[in-house]
Chains A and B, each alone.
Chain A
C-alpha cells in the first residue's frame, strides 16, 4: 500500500486529494437510486427518517414522528417499500439469452439491474439490519403488517448481501467509492465523514476541516443535535420535525449527486462491464426467487451454504483485485513495487518458433524482455500481460545483467490457430511490456456436499431443531 500512502502524503502537502486510480472501478448506473437513512440513537435499528429518490431535483423525505412506536416503524417500512420496490422491479422486463455449459444451453437474464447508493458503510449496515427486522414480519396473525413490509425486508437483505461481494455495484456507498479513487491528506478514520472526504476532493484541506462540523451523513445523528433539537421536537410531537430533518439531510443529498457526477467523469475500467454482468445475474435470479414466492433469507446460513458463500466471496475478492490491477496501471504499480509485476522492453523475439518435440508441432514463440525493476519471479512461473490477457508467458530463464535482468519467455495462446502467429499477437522487439504473475484465470472451488449428506454437527440428519 506504499503508493496509496505516498498519495496521502502528497495530498497533505498539496492540500488537495490526489488520484489513486486512472479509471473508474465500479459500474455507474444511468439511473441510480440514492437513499440516505437516519436512525434514532440508542435504539436497535429504529428509523428516524430517510431521504431518497432517483432524481436530484426531487428528494423524497419520510419521517417517523415517534421512532419508538412500532406501528409507525412499520408504516415507514411500508412507505419506503412503496417507493423503493417499484424502482428495483423496474429493470425486470427485458431479458437477454446467455449461453451456458459451453453453448449447450441458454439461460435468460435481465439486460439491466438497479443500483442503490447510500452515503457510507454505516448506511449499508443500517439497511441490512432493517431488512432483518422486516423480512420475517407476518402479514396475518396477531401483529399483521402490510405485505410490502416483508417484501422490502427481502430486497434490503438481498442488496446488503450483494454489497459484501467485492466488485459488486448493486448497493454502493459513497465513502468507499470515493476512497477507491482518491487519497486525502488525512487518515482513513477521518475519511469516514463524507462531507470532509468530499471537501478534500472538491475544495481542499481547509474546507475539509470546516466540513467536519457540518451536517452528518447518517445513519447516526450528532448527540448535540439529538439533545438540543430533536428531543424537544419528538417530545412535543412538533410538526416542524419534518422541516428540520429535511434541512439536515438536504446537504448530504446534494453531495451524493455531486459525487455521482464526479465519478462519471472517470472512464470505466475495461472489466467493469463484466462484473456488472454478474450483478445482473444475481439480480435476475433474485427476481425469479421472489416471483416463485421464495421464502425470506434465513437468519443464519447453514453450514454448507455458509461455506459456499465464503468461497464465493473469496473468489470474488481475488478476481476483483486482479481485475483492478489489469484495468488500471496505477493499481498495477503497487504490484510492480512488490515485484509481483514488472515492466520491460522486448530485446529479442522469435515469433515463428515451433516446438515439434511432442506428437504435434505447436507454435511456441520466445521473447527476451530486459527489465531494470525488482522481480520476484522464478523460472517455470507463468506470467500474463494485461495487454494480451489470453496469452501465457512461461519463464524459461532469468539472467542478471548490469542493468537488471533479462527474462526469457515462451509464449502460448492468443495467437490464432495456425502455426504462424497472427500479426501483432507476439510482442515485437522494442515494445514496452508489463508482465505479472497475477492471473485472471478461473479457479474452481472445492466441491461441497449436499446439506443432507453432512453430519448432524453441520445441520445434516437427524434434523436439529434450528431456527434457520
Chain B
C-alpha cells in the first residue's frame, strides 16, 4: 500500500464510485486507468498539469435539477418516494455524511442494517467491492429497499422518461451503475438476497412528477463480473513499476509525462466521454488505427498504425504472413478508390 500512496503523492485519494468502476470496465485493457484509479490519483488535475485538460465539469443547471428532484422525493420522510414505489409505511434510515474518517464504522452499520432483514429504505449505504485486487469503498447515492428479506436497488435519476422512453445512453449508464451496486450488495449479503431488478425513479414527461420503472440488469451484471475478473491485478502492475514513477501533481509536467509513458494505455475514441486522461492519451495515440475508432481499425484489417495500413494499401510495404489477407483487401480497396475518383 505504501507504493500506492507514494504513486499519488501527498494529495488525498480520490475514491472509486460506481461511475469510475463502470468506466473502468468499459475499457478493461487500459492499465493506465487501472493504476491511476487504484492509486486514487486526481486525474483532472493530472491531465491539466501535463497540458491536456479535459472538460468534465457538470452544468450547474443539471446539478440543481437533479438535487431538486431528489430533495422533492425525499421530503417529509420520503413521502413522495414511498408513494411512487408503492411501499407503504416502512422505516427510513440515512447513513449519509460524506466523511473518510467514519468509513469503517459506516460500513459496519450498513452491514448490520441490511442483514437485519427488517423492511426499510436505507439511504447512502456504504458498500465495498474488490476491484483489481483492491478493496474499494463505494458510496452509492441510492436507496436500498428491503422488503420480505429481499433487497432492491432504487436509483434516482433526473433525466426524463417521455411516453415510456428515455435517452438510451443515459438508461444504459444508469443500468451499469446500478449493476455495480447490486454486485456490491450481493458480495455483502449473498446472491439470493439481492434482486437483479433495479428500480429507476425519473421525472415523467416534461414535469417533475416521478415515475418508477423496473430495469433488469442481469446482462450488465454478467458483463461487469466478467470484466472485473479480467482486470489485471493492479497491485502486481504497480509493484513492477520502476521506483521513479510517480503521479504526484506537484512534479514537473515532463516528469509526469515520463511516468505516464511507463504505464501503457489503450486509447479508443469512446474514452473521450468517460476518462479524464483521454485528451492526453489521444495525443499519444495519434497515428494508430485504433484512434480512428474500433470499426475503422477492423475494416483496415486490424493493422496497428495508419502509416502501415497505407503502405500495405499502396504496396510499398511487404506484408507479414498474418497481414497477407488484410494487405490484399487494402490493395484492392485502394485500386477501386483510385479508379472511382479518377
Q: Does A44 contact B (CB under 8 A)?
A: yes
* B40-59 interface with A by 8 A CB criterion: 55, 57-59
Q: Does B164 contact A (CB under 8 A)?
A: yes
Q: How far is the CA of A44 from the CA of B160 in the complex (A)?
A: 6
* A19-57 interface with B by 8 A CB criterion: 19, 22, 40-45
| Interface residues as binary, A198-240 with B (CB distance below 8 Å gives 1, 0 otherwise) | 0000000000000000000000011110110011000000000
Chain A nearest Cβ from B327, distance in angstroms: 12
Residue of B nearest to A234 (CB): B61
| Interface residues as binary, B300-342 with A (CB distance below 8 Å gives 1, 0 otherwise) | 1000001101100100000000000000011011101101110
Residues of B within 8 A of A329 (CB): 339-340
Chain A nearest Cβ from B63, distance in angstroms: 7
| Interface residues as binary, B279-303 with A (CB distance below 8 Å gives 1, 0 otherwise) | 0000000010101110110011000
Residues of A within 8 A of B270 (CB): 189
Chain B nearest Cβ from A145, distance in angstroms: 13
Q: How far is the CA of A132 from the CA of B309 in the complex (A)?
A: 47
Q: How far is the CA of A336 from the CA of B162 in the complex (A)?
A: 44
Chain A nearest Cβ from B323, distance in angstroms: 14
Residues of A within 8 A of B340 (CB): 22, 329-330, 332-333
Is there an interface contact between A227 and B289, defined as CB atoms closer than 8 Å?
A: no
Is there an interface contact between B66 and A42, defined as CB atoms closer than 8 Å?
A: yes
Give the residue of B158, B269, B334 whose beta carbon is less than 8 angstroms from that of A6.
B334
Is there an interface contact between B333 and A41, defined as CB atoms closer than 8 Å?
A: no
| Interface residues as binary, A321-333 with B (CB distance below 8 Å gives 1, 0 otherwise) | 0000000011011
Give the residue of B163, B291, B293, B341 whose beta carbon is less than 8 angstroms from that of A330.
B341
Is there an interface contact between B205 and A44, defined as CB atoms closer than 8 Å?
A: yes
Is there an interface contact between A42 and B64, defined as CB atoms closer than 8 Å?
A: yes
Give the residue of A13, A40, A224, A299 whose beta carbon is less than 8 angstroms from that of B310.
A13
Chain B nearest Cβ from A129, distance in angstroms: 7
Give the residue of B61, B310, B341 whose beta carbon is less than 8 angstroms from that of A19.
B341
| Interface residues as binary, B49-79 with A (CB distance below 8 Å gives 1, 0 otherwise) | 0000001011111111110000000000000
Q: Does A94 contact B (CB under 8 A)?
A: no
Residues of A within 8 A of B113 (CB): none
- Classify the interface of chain A: helix, strand, loop or mixed: helix
Known: A43-B61, A223-B58. A2 touches B300 (CB 8 A): yes
Residue of A nearest to B165 (CB): A300
Chain A nearest Cβ from B338, distance in angstroms: 10
Is there an interface contact between A187 and B163, defined as CB atoms closer than 8 Å?
A: no
Residue of A nearest to B337 (CB): A3
Residues of A within 8 A of B296 (CB): 1, 5, 8-9, 187
Q: Does B210 contact A (CB under 8 A)?
A: no
Is there an interface contact between A188 and B293, defined as CB atoms closer than 8 Å?
A: yes
Residue of B nearest to A230 (CB): B61
Is there an interface contact between A8 and B206, defined as CB atoms closer than 8 Å?
A: no
Q: Does B203 contact A (CB under 8 A)?
A: yes
Is there an interface contact between B206 and A44, defined as CB atoms closer than 8 Å?
A: yes
Q: Does B273 contact A (CB under 8 A)?
A: yes
Residue of B nearest to A186 (CB): B292
Q: Does B272 contact A (CB under 8 A)?
A: yes
Residues of B within 8 A of A6 (CB): 299-300, 309, 313, 330, 333-334, 337
Is there an interface contact between A337 and B61, defined as CB atoms closer than 8 Å?
A: no
Known: A6-B313, A42-B59, A188-B269. A12 touches B287 (CB 8 A): yes
Is there an interface contact between A12 and B292, defined as CB atoms closer than 8 Å?
A: yes
Is there an interface contact between A187 and B61, defined as CB atoms closer than 8 Å?
A: no
A-B contact pairs, 21 of them (CB 8 A): A5-B295, A5-B296, A6-B299, A9-B289, A9-B306, A9-B309, A43-B65, A44-B203, A44-B205, A44-B206, A132-B162, A133-B206, A189-B272, A189-B273, A223-B55, A224-B57, A226-B61, A230-B61, A329-B339, A330-B337, A337-B333
Further 11 A-B residue pairs, CB within 8 A, beyond A6-B313, A42-B62: A1-B295, A2-B333, A41-B59, A44-B162, A187-B269, A223-B60, A300-B164, A333-B337, A333-B340, A337-B332, A337-B336
- A-side residues, CB < 8 A to B, are 1-10, 12-13, 19, 22, 40-45, 129, 132-133, 185-190, 221-224, 226-227, 230-231, 299-300, 329-330, 332-333, 336-337, 374
Which are the 8 A-B pairs with shortest beta-carbon distances?
Answer: A42-B62, A44-B160, A5-B299, A187-B269, A41-B59, A42-B65, A333-B336, A226-B59
